[in-house]
Amino acid sequence: MNSNSTTLRYALAAAARGWHVFPLTPGDKTPLPGMSWKRLATTDPQVIARIWARRPYNIGIACGPSRLLVIDLDKPKAGEEELRPPPPWDLPGVADGADVFALVCQRAGQPLPYETFTVRTRRGGLHRYFTTPTGPDGGPDAPALGNTSGDKGNGLGWHIDTRGAGGFVVGPGSHVSLPDGTGTYTVIHARDPAPLPTWLAERLRPTFNPPRPPATIAVHAGQRGAYLEAAIRGCLARITAAREGERNTTVWGASVALGQLVAGGALDEAETEALLLQAAMQAGLSEHAARKTICSGFRRGATRPRHVPA
Beta bridge partners of 17: none
Inter-residue contact 150 to 159 (CB < 8 Å)? yes
Would you say residue 310 lies in a domain?
A: no
In angstroms, the CA 32 to CA 49 distance is: 17
Number of domains comprising the chain: 2
Q: Is residue 220 part of a domain?
A: no
Pair 195, 240 in one domain = no
Predicted model pTM: 0.68
Q: Which residues contact 166 (CB under 8 A, 6 or more apart)?
A: 64, 146, 147, 243, 244, 245
Q: Strand pairing partners for 163?
A: 70
194 plus 231 within the same structural domain: no
Whether residue 90 sits in one domain with residue 172: yes
Digitized pLDDT (tens) for each residue of the chain, 310 residues in all: 556 788 999 999 999 999 999 999 999 999 998 889 999 999 999 999 999 999 999 999 999 999 999 999 999 887 766 678 888 888 888 999 999 999 999 999 999 999 999 999 999 999 999 999 764 333 443 457 889 888 776 789 999 999 999 999 999 999 999 888 889 999 999 999 999 999 999 898 876 444 444 444 444 445 556 778 888 888 898 888 887 667 888 898 899 999 988 888 888 888 899 899 888 888 877 888 888 889 988 988 888 888 776 6
Q: Is residue 72 part of a domain?
A: yes
| 190, 64: one domain | yes
Same domain, 178 and 276: no
The boundaries of the domain holding residue 262 are 225-302
